[in-house]
Amino acid sequence: MITPDKNNQTFLAWVAAWIDTEGYIGLRVASVKKQITPAYRPLVGISQKDIRPLQIIQSVFRGHITTQKKETGVHQLVFHSAQAIRLIECVRPYILVKECQADLIIEAGQLTSRSLGYNRYKPKPQAVLDRLGEIKLALHELNGWSRERRIAS
């Protein structure tokens, strides 16, 4: 039995395997009222029909479980912003398939960190916004959402 704990290396490897196989690592762009620049939100999601693994991961890393499609019974555990970054930082040594996405989302987290002091009164510099746009595009391509596919759909 694996003990669900952030300090248990076996548990962290197990969580990383779920992200590698059933997970999504992305960057969401949201418009925030009265904010000059767009808000970039790191996002990690894991989809699964069996809710139990998601509940185990949620018990340690928090996040929010929703039922994506009631007719198919697919559940999704979603992490936003700082929760997403903390999760990926914990499991990064064990991520094998989505390592590029993991590294990009960690970089995006550093660029969007509140500790940098950016807010609606002190917007991010254009260079930071440009890099976040590059990261979003790279994540789309790595996740199989190339520009051609978006245009076609």
pLDDT higher than 90, residue 1: no
Give pLDDT, residue 24. Answer: 96
Contacts of 83 (CB under 8 A, 6+ apart): 61, 62, 63
pLDDT digits (tens, 9 = 90+) for 85-106: 999 999 999 999 999 999 999 9
Give pLDDT, residue 16. Answer: 98
Give the integer Cα–Cα distance in Å for 137 and 130: 11
What mean pLDDT is reported for the chain?
Answer: 88
135: number of Cβ within 10 Å: 22
User: What is residue 98's three-state secondary structure?
Assistant: coil
Structure tokens at 23: 């997970």
